[in-house]
A and B are shown apart, each in its own frame.
Chain A
Amino acid sequence: MLHIQDVVKTFGKHNAVDGVSLQLEPGVVGLIGHNGAGKSTLMQMLATLTRPTRGRILLDGQDIVARPELMRRRLGYLPQDFGVYPHLTAFEFLQYFAALKGVRDRRRLHEMLELVNLHEQAGRQAASFSGGMRQRLGIAQALLGDPDVLIVDEPTAGLDPEERLRLRHLLGDLGRQRLVIVSTHIVSDVENMATRLAILRQGRLVAYETPDAVLARAAGRVWTALLAPAAYEALRGQVQVLHAQPQGSRVQVRMAHPSRPCAEAEPALASLEEALMAQRHADERVAA
């Protein structure tokens, strides 16, 4: 569906995205990386906001760098930071974007507002919305044209836990029929809905695989132990500590290490976030 071929984006002498190639099919793709890894720049290129310095992006075989309209007609986009026009109500805001996208059916606007639970606030000025409500309005805007490709950048920012859960379910459902690209540095956002993960580091794609593959590779690398404080302090420099919580006079530690780090350590079932951190730790050890 969406084929990214050796895409490079350069700002001055800095390569924000450095030779990324990906073949994306319908489903939810989690684009994961630390701040500055190049996620947002890659998303902006996919959303046709900026051109790659080099490389091609093909949507069903057609070059969207040369013909961005092909993508825009099939795209729903929610950027990381966005605002709303002052003076416009939530409904008017959607009405404007519906007009830009050629969405003729007025009922679709009401459906979208209902989907994101804003139907009772449709007549309120969108600028008076809280961060979470604004984020939901942005999601409604992105879904207006029933897009084939949905690109959402840090979608759960500003949402409360309930809304966060709702959004994850919604994106998971949407991913059954279309390509949903979710960029985030919060791994738990995509843990249960992503069909594949694309992991970026310093502008480069370091992995593109299923969450199960990431978890399988972490087997035998994540450990748990209940340690005395002195033992914990002694171990800290040698392992990647994933989590440490005092329990009485001792410390419950979860850590990443290629082999059993100490006699008290027991193998643990890794979460996706821990698996990714263990992988990074292992890569760094190899590089060192």
Chain B
Amino acid sequence: MNAGLCQALVLNEWRLRSRRISSVVILLAVVALSWLMVLDPQTGKAMMVVHRQRLAYDSQALAFATTLMASLLFGLAGFYLARGRSQQDLRCGTAAVLAATPVANAQLLGARWLGAFGFLLSLGTVVMLTIWVLQLVRGEGSLQPLPYLQMLLLGLAPGLMLCASLAVLADAWAPLMGRRGDLLYWMLWMLQFAFVPASLGTGAIELSGWQVFDVNGMSPLLVGLSTLLDVRHVSVGGSPFDAALPVLTMPAGLWSRELVALRLGSMMLALLPLLPAVLLFHRYAPDRVQPRSAAGGWRLAMQGLLRPLRRPVNLALGLLLGAAARLPGMPGRWLADLGLLLLSQPLLALAMGAGALAGVFAPAEVRPALLAGTLCAWGLAVADVSSRDLQSGTLALASAAPGGALERGWRQALAALGLGLLLALPALLRSAADAPLAALACVAGLLFLSAAATLLGRLTQGPRTFLALFLFAFYLDLQRTGVPALDLLGLAGDASPASVSGYALAGVLGFAALRAGPWPRRT
């Protein structure tokens, strides 16, 4: 590939990704979380604590903690930010033009990867730079760029490389292009957390070769830190400390030869998904990227398998739309939007229906798991509640219908909320007597998430920003962290009256913002 072509392709990829509002939203989320993590020691809590001693906020410690936080969130959101290019090409009509150019598959996907990785790395760099500002405000040592650079290139970069590679694979192979790819990546992202307890378990804490598979780097970095400080437990992210004890300084020397070798190995590993991506690349062949036309192979088999199940569901949804037409005014249109939500996600509709139904009859001990699964499917289903109109080209049609664009915004949020309540209510009613606060937290969380899905969909004109943030929050909710604010849907049992009211208020404000939203200038 000549340098000019390579530069043009990579630059185009970088520009397309960097000009999305979703990039700004995710960047702000990472910066906010990183800054929130650097707690004022006067609160009695600190960013990093070892045996109740806090570590000084110097460049070493700040770079370390920021990398952990950034790799956690970018490791998830980076994939959703980087992917979607194939769908974008198909939507804006450049797919066929691209496919007909003489650029080889490897060149095209290589450029996509470079553009995606460059874009994610630039986001990581911006986060690091904002932490420089924070160090100047709250830091305790002189500003040293080297630890930040080491963390960026060895700590964060391998995870970002993996995000870029998997995003390219998910865009290149047709079966992963839709929501299926999003869900699979989330599962993969959660799997990586198994490395941390495995490395910091009861045995000797030392780096080992298999940690090369922890591409995001949490376990090798934590083991490296434990070895450096010669301790078993390091708390990162805000823990109480004893102010009477002296402040520790994180020594230099984290980047041992073994750790550097592990991270370089992870970088190599992160490139592996590019191989199947090139081999499986659809190159926009209509019979491969447009499932609606001439479906074949496994897709046809899958459809055949689900048809008997979908038939009664579609029949019921048809009746729902008929009822919506008979119900006058906004309630009728709201019911129609609820029907559209379900019709647009047939598989998730089946999963949600099954989950909600099982919640009615299942024994108490499996109810939380069923509720969690149903709510996860709900989150996936409502991610594109407001961006669907724009993505499918129906915005003008829908905005000219009674209610108009303004009502449509908050009606979509109401439809998402209505669906969530409908699904969760059977389980919540059964558990409300035992855990009323958890039930209230679920309702408040649904209110907040419905508004957030609609607002973020409108703002970013796509579902993936909400999806990334929802899946991150959902993962945190599944952990028993003891932090009420992280129990968004009341699944962990950590919610407090304050956290419930906070989410309810934020949800109400979100609905109010949608209600007052401006008319769209262009449709």
Number of interface residues of B (CB under 8 A): 41
Contact check, B396 vs A85: say whether CB atoms are below 8 A apart.
Answer: no
Stretch at the interface among A21-29, A44-52, A228-236: A44-52
Given A96-B340, A102-B328, A128-B292, are A82 and B394 also a contact pair (CB < 8 Å)? yes
Chain A CB count within 10 A is highest, among B318, B321, B335, B520, for B321
Contact check, B322 vs A87: say whether CB atoms are below 8 A apart.
Answer: no
Of the A-B pairs whose beta carbons lie under 8 Å apart in the complex, a sample of 19, sorted by A's number, is: A47-B396, A48-B399, A49-B520, A50-B519, A69-B402, A82-B397, A85-B394, A86-B344, A92-B317, A92-B318, A92-B343, A95-B321, A95-B322, A96-B336, A96-B343, A97-B397, A100-B333, A100-B398, A100-B401
Query: How many Å lie between the Cα of A44 and that of B398 in the bound state?
Result: 13
In the assembled complex, B257 has its CB within 8 A of some CB on chain A: no
In the assembled complex, A268 has its CB within 8 A of some CB on chain B: no
Which residue of B has the minimal Cβ distance to A68? Answer: B404
Contact check, A102 vs B343: say whether CB atoms are below 8 A apart.
Answer: no
In the assembled complex, A155 has its CB within 8 A of some CB on chain B: no
Contact check, A48 vs B400: say whether CB atoms are below 8 A apart.
Answer: yes
Task: Give min CB distance, A266 to chain B, whole Å.
Answer: 46
**Main SS at interface, chain B:** helix
Contact check, A102 vs B400: say whether CB atoms are below 8 A apart.
Answer: no
Contact check, A104 vs B394: say whether CB atoms are below 8 A apart.
Answer: no
Which residue of A has the minimal Cβ distance to B346? Answer: A87
Query: How many Å lie between the Cα of A22 and that of B393 in the bound state?
Result: 30
Contact check, B397 vs A88: say whether CB atoms are below 8 A apart.
Answer: no
| Selected contact of A96 from candidates B292, B321, B403, CB within 8 Å | B321
The 9 closest A-B pairs by CB, nearest first: A83-B393, A99-B336, A99-B324, A128-B292, A79-B396, A77-B400, A100-B401, A127-B292, A99-B325
In the assembled complex, A180 has its CB within 8 A of some CB on chain B: no
Contact check, A84 vs B394: say whether CB atoms are below 8 A apart.
Answer: yes
For B317, the chain A residues whose CB sits under 8 A away are 92
Query: How many Å lie between the Cα of A50 and that of B426 in the bound state?
Result: 42
In the assembled complex, B42 has its CB within 8 A of some CB on chain A: no
Interface size class of A (residues with CB under 8 A): 35 or more
**Main SS at interface, chain A:** mixed
Query: How many Å lie between the Cα of A54 and that of B213 in the bound state?
Result: 62
In the assembled complex, A219 has its CB within 8 A of some CB on chain B: no
Tell me the A residues contacting B by CB distance below 8 Å.
11, 44, 47-51, 68-69, 72-73, 75, 77-79, 81-88, 92, 95-104, 106, 125, 127-128, 138, 141
For B399, the chain A residues whose CB sits under 8 A away are 48-49
Query: How many Å lie between the Cα of A77 and that of B404 in the bound state?
Result: 12
| Selected contact of A99 from candidates B314, B335, B345, B346, CB within 8 Å | B335
For B402, the chain A residues whose CB sits under 8 A away are 69, 72-73, 100-102
| Selected contact of B318 from candidates A44, A79, A95, A127, CB within 8 Å | A95
Chain A CB count within 10 A is highest, among B346, B392, B403, B522, for B392
Contact check, A99 vs B400: say whether CB atoms are below 8 A apart.
Answer: no
| Selected contact of B293 from candidates A97, A98, A128, CB within 8 Å | A128
In the assembled complex, B19 has its CB within 8 A of some CB on chain A: no
Task: Give min CB distance, B395 to chain A, whole Å.
Answer: 8
Contact check, A72 vs B523: say whether CB atoms are below 8 A apart.
Answer: no
Contact check, A87 vs B343: say whether CB atoms are below 8 A apart.
Answer: yes
| Selected contact of B325 from candidates A51, A82, A98, CB within 8 Å | A98
Contact check, A72 vs B292: say whether CB atoms are below 8 A apart.
Answer: no
For B346, the chain A residues whose CB sits under 8 A away are 87
For B392, the chain A residues whose CB sits under 8 A away are 83-86
Query: How many Å lie between the Cα of A72 and that of B278 in the bound state?
Result: 49
Contact check, B523 vs A79: say whether CB atoms are below 8 A apart.
Answer: yes
For B344, the chain A residues whose CB sits under 8 A away are 85-88
Apart from the given pairs A72-B400, A87-B343, 7 other A-B contacts in the complex at a CB distance below 8 Å: A85-B343, A92-B314, A92-B343, A96-B321, A98-B325, A100-B401, A102-B332
Given A88-B344, A95-B318, A128-B292, are A47 and B400 also a contact pair (CB < 8 Å)? yes
